[in-house]
Structure 1
C-alpha cells in the first residue's frame, strides 16, 4: 500500500517552536479562550479569564495568532472561580466553567452583539440573556471505545478524539447521568471491537438510545442488547452503521414520545431535538409572541414539529423539512390531532421557497442548522407584493444569524428584537430568536 504523500508546508504558516512564556490575559475571546499579547502577536490561552497572569507554553498557530497551553495561573483574575465538574479541562464539552457567573452571562450576550456589529447591525435591539440552568439537558451524543479496562463512555477530549470516560456531567438531566453505568455495561456485554457514538434522549416513555458503530451484529449480540434494554428499562434501542440509511431496531418496549404544544410525537431514532425542554419552550414562546394567531404560517426547517404543532393550534401551517424521518413523525402527529398542518420534504438550502410561493403565507418561521439560511433569506428579501410580513428566525450560530439578518434588512425587513437563549452553558454555543417585520 502506498503511503500518502505529505503536503508541503505552507509558506509563512510553520508552527513556532514550543516555549514557555509569562502572559497577562486581557479578555476572553469568541471561542472562550483567554487572549493575551506576546510581542506583536495575539496568543489564545484556554481556561483563563481577564486579569489572569499565567505561565503558558506556546504550541502552534491559529488564524492570525498563536495557541498556548496553560501551565499555571500565577495570579488569578477577579473573574476566576472553581469549576463544578471533575472532568473539566480534559473533557471537550465545556470551556468556561472557570468564569464567574455574571461575567459569563455578559460575555455570552456579547457574542451575539459582536456578530451583529460586524454586519452593520449594531443598533439591533438585543434582549437580556435568557439562561437555561444546568442539569436539564435531555439529549446527549456520547462517544465510546473499548479499552483494556472495559468500555469508555463519555465525550471527546478537548481538541482530540480521545474518549473521556464520564462519571457525572453537571449539564445532563439526572436521568441521563444515572443511566451511564448501565449503558456502559450494555456495550461491554457484546464482543464488538472499536468504538462509536451513542445518542441518548430522555422521552416520556423513558430513554431512547441509538448506537452508531461500524460493527455488524450477530444474533447473539442482538439478543444480548435486547436483554440489556429490558434490564435497563429503555423505551427503545436501535443500531445503525455509519453511512447506512438503515436503522436496525433492537428493542421497542414503549413509544419514545415527546410533546410539542401538548401534542405527542414519536421522533425517528436519533432525530434532532432542542437539547433542553426549557430552551425549546423559551424559543416556542418567542415565536408565538411574534406571530399573530390565525394567519397562515410557513415553518421552514421544521424538524419533528417543535414549533409547527404549537402554531397549528392557532392557524394553518405548512411545515417544510429536508429529511423524511422527521416529516413522517410530524405528519402522523398532526393527523392524529386533526390539526390544519401540511408537510413537505424539501432541501431548502438547494431549493428555498421562492418569492411567489411565499405569497401564500403571512408569517415565516426559520430554524436552519448552523450554516444558516442564506438561500431562503435571499428569497425573503426579494421585493414582492403580498406575502409574509413577519419572520421569526431561530439560530444556533450568531455569525450566520447576523449574516442572514443583514440580507433581510437589505431587502426592507426591520429587526424588532432578538432574544439570546443560553441552553449550552459554559460553552461558546448560543441560541437566539429574531423577530422581523416589514
Structure 2
C-alpha cells in the first residue's frame, strides 16, 4: 500500500529571503554635508554612503550601522574621532532623546546657512534659481503652542515629548523653544494627569498660548469622568486657562468642558476670539515677519483675495491697504474672523466665504476681480488652486508655505503660467529642526 504524501505545514516555518547582513563593527566615516532631513551625509574609505543623525559637516566619526536607506547605510555615532569646526555643545539636556530638535549641535551661522541652502536646493530640483532673502531666524523661547505626549500604564504616568524614532516618551520639565507662560504649565499639567487620566493608554495635550490666556485640548483615552471636572475647574482657575476641552481618544471635535474667558490673539488692530484648536503661526515673531513680507509686495492693489485665511493671520493686516475677501474651509475659524472684523469696525473691508479650495478652487471670473492674492495652504500645498492662479492675470501673488517641497511644485505652475518669481524669504519658526517655511512674491506683467 503506497504511503500517503507527507503533509507539509505552510507558512509557519517559511522564511523570507534575508538581505545582506549589516556590518557589525563601527565604521570610520567622514561627514561631507547635511541632508534635507538634518542627518549628516558621509562616506567611509570605500566610498560607501551614510546618513548619521546629530553629525556636522567635517566630523570624522566612528559610526555603528543600524539600517539602510536605499543603497546607503544609516548609523549612529559611537565615537567622535575629530569634531567639526561647526560643532557646538547642544544647550538642551534632552537633546538626542527628545524628538523635537535635531540640529542644536551646529553653530548658529552654519545653521542659518543650512536653512537657506535647504530651500535653494529644493527649488533647484524644480529648476528654479533665485537669490534668496536673508533668512528670518525666530530663535528659542518663542513657540506659543506645543503638543505634549502622555502615557498611563498601571499607576504610572509619563508626561513629556515623544522621543526620537520610538514610542517612548521623554519626560521634560522645561523646553528651550517654548514661551515662558507655556513652560510654566509643564509641571502643572504633569501633576494634573493622575487626577484626570483614569484609563491606561496614550494621549496628547495640545496647548495654545496665543495671548493672555491658554487654550488646552485634552486628547485622552476614554470619556471624561465626572470626578475629573472639579479638578479641571481648579486647574483652570489657578493657571489662567481660558478654555479646556476634552477629545475622547483623540478623535472627533473636542468638547469644551470649561470656558473661563475668551481665548484671544491680536491680528493687526483686531482682537480675535479664537475657536478651539485654532491654526496659528508657531510664534508671534514669525507671524510678524510673514505679515511684513506680504505687505511689502503690495503697491496700489486694492482688491485682495486671502486664500486659506484661517482666523485672519494676514486678513486684518491686508485690510489696512485694501478690501479683502477671505476664503477658508474651516467654518469656525472663518466665523471667528468675521465676528472680529465686525467688532473692529472692518465689516465693510472684509468679506468671507467658506470653501474647500482643494475640491472647489477659485477660477476664471472669480479670480479676475482681484488685484492681488495671498495664499497660505497646509503642508500638502495648493496643487489645484495654483493651477488656476497660474491661468489668471492677477498682477501680484504672495505665497506662504510651511513646506518648501510643495511650494516648489506650486511655484513651477505659476512660473509656467507666466509669473516671475521676484523674492523668496526663508523663515525659521521651527528652531533647531529640519523644517523651514517660505514666503515668496510672484508678479505678472499686464497684457
TM bracket (short chain):
over 0.9
**Does 2:338 correspond to 1:331?**
yes
Find the structure with the greater CA-based Rg.
2
Deviation at 1:195, TM superposition (A): 2.3
CA distance in 2, matches of 1:101, 1:82: 12
CA distance in 1, matches of 2:147, 2:21: 33
Paired position in structure 1 for 2:299: 292
Paired position in structure 1 for 2:5: none
Paired position in structure 2 for 1:233: 240
Q: How does 1:17-416 map to 2 (within 5 A)?
A: 18-38=24-44, 39-122=46-129, 124-147=130-153, 150-190=156-196, 191-242=198-249, 244-292=251-299, 295-339=302-346, 340-382=349-391, 384=392, 387-416=393-422
Task: Indicate conservation of the 8 Å contact 1:36/1:45, yes or no.
Answer: yes
Question: Residues 288-327 of structure 1, C-alpha deviation per residue, up to 9 Å, x if partnerless?
Answer: 1112355111111111100011112322111111211211
Greater Cα shift, 77-86 or 387-396: 387-396
| TM-score, structure 2 normalization | 0.91
Deviation at 1:149, TM superposition (A): 7.2
Residue ranges of structure 1 left out of the alignment (5+ in a row): none
Any idea what SS the aligned residue of 1:136 has? coil
Aligned residues: CA RMSD = 2.1
297 and 11 in structure 1: CA distance in 2 versus 1, 3 angstrom threshold: farther
341 and 69 in structure 1: CA distance in 2 versus 1, 3 angstrom threshold: same
Task: Indicate conservation of the 8 Å contact 1:294/1:316, yes or no.
Answer: no
Deviation at 1:338, TM superposition (A): 2.7
CA distance in 2, matches of 1:414, 1:420: 18
CA distance in 1, matches of 2:101, 2:15: 32
Deviation at 1:193, TM superposition (A): 2.5
26 and 407 in structure 1: CA distance in 2 versus 1, 3 angstrom threshold: same
The number of aligned residues is 429
CA distance in 2, matches of 1:11, 1:103: 44
121 and 269 in structure 1: CA distance in 2 versus 1, 3 angstrom threshold: same
Question: Residues 140-188 of structure 1, C-alpha deviation per residue, up to 9 Å, x if partnerless?
Answer: 1111112567432221111122111111111111111111000111112
| TM-score, structure 1 normalization | 0.93
Greater Cα shift, 216-225 or 424-433: 216-225
47 and 149 in structure 1: CA distance in 2 versus 1, 3 angstrom threshold: farther
Paired position in structure 1 for 2:7: none
Paired position in structure 1 for 2:4: none
CA distance in 2, matches of 1:109, 1:12: 41
Question: Residues 370-410 of structure 1, C-alpha deviation per residue, up to 9 Å, x if partnerless?
Answer: 1111111111112x4xx521001001111111111111101
